Structure 1
Amino acid sequence: MNNTISDIKITKCQSSKINEVDFENLVFGNIFTDHMLLCDYKDGVWQQPEIVPYAPFLMDPSSKVFHYGQAIFEGMKAYKDAHDDIWLFRPDQNFDRFNKSATRLAMPEVPEEVFIGGLKQLIQLEKDWVKHGNGSALYIRPFMIATGHGVIAAPSTEYRFMIILSPAKSYYSGEVKVIIAEHFSRAANGGIGAAKAAGNYSGQFYPTKLANEEGFQQIIWTDDATHTKLEEAGTMNVFFRINDVLYTAPTSERILDGVTRKSVIDLAKREGIQVEVRSVLVDELVQAAKDGSLKEIFGAGTAAVINPIAGFSYKGEYFELPKMENSFAQEIKTKLTGIQTKELEDTFGWTVKV
Structure 2
Amino acid sequence: MSMTQTVEDALKKPFGTVYADKMAVARYKDGVWTPFDIQEVKPFEMHPAAHVFHYSSTCFEGLKCHRQVDGSVHVFRLDRHIERFRNSAERLCLPIPDADQVDAMVCELVAECADWAPVFPGSLYVRPTLIGTLPSIGAAAGPSTEALLFVILSPVGDYFSGGLRPLKLLVEEKMRTAPTLGMVKTGGNYAAALYATRKAREKYGTDQVLFAPDGFIQETGAANFLMISEDRIVTKALDPSFLHGVTRDSLLKIGARMGKEIEEREISVDELLTWAKTGECALSGTAAVLGGVGSLVYREETYTVGTGDYGDETAKMRSALVDIQRGKAEDTFGWLKRIS
Q: 2:52·2:133 contact (CA, 8 Å) conserved in 1?
A: yes
Q: Do structure 1's residue 276 and structure 2's residue 260 form an aligned pair?
A: no
Matched, 1:176 2:148: no
Q: Does structure 2 conserve the Cα–Cα contact (< 8 Å) formed by 1:67 and 1:151?
A: yes
The C-alpha deviation readout for 1:196-220, integer Å capped at 9, x for no partner, is 1111111111111111112111011
Deviation at 1:322, TM superposition (A): 2.8
Conserved 8 A contact 1:188-1:253: no
The answer to whether residue 246 in structure 2 is matched with residue 259 in structure 1 is yes
Give me the whole-angstrom Cα distance separating, in 2, the residues matched to 1:65 and 1:288: 43
For structure 1, which runs of at least 5 residues remain unmatched after alignment? 1-14
User: Of 192, 207, 216, which aligns to 2:181?
Assistant: 192
Deviations 1:256-310 (A, max 9, x none): 1110001000000101122211111001112333xx33x2110010000001111
Do residues 330 (structure 1) and 315 (structure 2) align?
A: yes
Matches within 5 A, 1:97-176: 97-133=84-120, 135-152=121-138, 153=140, 154-172=142-160, 174-176=165-167
Residue 304 (str. 1) matches residue 294 (str. 2):
no
- The 8 Å contact of residues 16 and 34 in structure 1, kept in 2 or not, is answered as no
2-side partners of 1:342 and 1:18: how far apart?
A: 21
How far apart, in 2, do the equivalents of 1:342 and 1:19 lie? 24
Give the aligned residue type for 1:48: P
Instruction: Assess, with a 3 A threshold, how the Cα gap between structure 1 residues 347 and 17 changes in structure 2: closer, same or farther.
Output: closer
> Taking structure 1 as reference, are residues 339 and 242 closer, same or farther at Cα in structure 2, changes over 3 Å only?
closer
CA distance in 1, matches of 2:168, 2:240: 26
On the 8 A contact 2:95/2:146 being kept in 1, the answer is no
Partner of 1:11: none
Counterpart in the other structure of 1:207: 196
Q: Deviations over 1:36-55 (max 9, x none)?
A: 01100000000121110011
| Change beyond 3 A, Cα 1:256–1:325 | closer
- Pairwise CA distance, 1:17: 7.5
Distance of aligned partners of 1:17 and 1:319 in 2 relative to their CA distance in 1, 3 Å threshold: same
State the alpha-carbon separation in 1 of the partners of residues 327 and 13 from structure 2: 23
Does the 8 Å contact 1:260/1:305 carry over to 2? yes
Q: Which amino acid aligns with 1:64?
A: H
Distance 1:193 1:325, change over 3 A: closer
User: Which whole-Å deviations, capped at 9, do the CAs of 1:50-79 have from their partners, x for residues lacking one?
Assistant: 110011121100000000000000000001
- Find out whether 1:318 has 2:302 as its counterpart: yes
C-alpha displacement of 1:24: 4.4
Instruction: Tell me the amino acid that sits aligned with residue 192 of structure 2.
Output: G
Equivalence for 1:47: 34
- Tell me if structure 2 keeps the 8 A contact 1:242–1:288: no
The offset of 1:243, in angstroms, is 7.0
Are the equivalent residues in 1 in contact too, given 2:11–2:155 (CA < 8 A)? no
Q: Are residues 1:353 and 2:326 paired? A: no
Partner of 1:6: none
Query: For 2:74, what is the secondary structure of its paired residue?
Result: strand
Is 1:344 aligned to 2:333, yes or no?
Answer: no
Alpha-carbon offset, residue 18 of structure 1: 7.0
Q: 1:28 to 1:325 in 2, by over 3 A?
A: closer
Q: CA RMSD in A?
A: 1.8
Contact 2:167–2:207 (CA<8 Å) still a contact in 1? yes
Instruction: Number of aligned residue pairs: give it.
Output: 331
Shift of 1:245: 2.2
- Equivalent residues of 1:76, 1:140 under 8 A apart: yes
- The sequence identity of aligned pairs, in percent, is 33
42, 47, 70: which one aligns with 1:83: 70
Q: Deviations over 1:75-112 (max 9, x none)?
A: 00001112221111111100000000000000111112
Write the mapping of 1:18-33 to structure 2, written as runs, cut at 5 A: 19-21=5-7, 22-33=9-20
Q: Distance in 2 between matches of 1:288 and 1:302?
A: 25
Q: Please, which runs of 5 or more residues in structure 2 have no aligned partner?
A: none
Q: Name the SS for the 1:233 alignment partner.
A: coil
CA distance in 2, matches of 1:303, 1:325: 17
In structure 2, give the amino acid aligned to 1:47: T
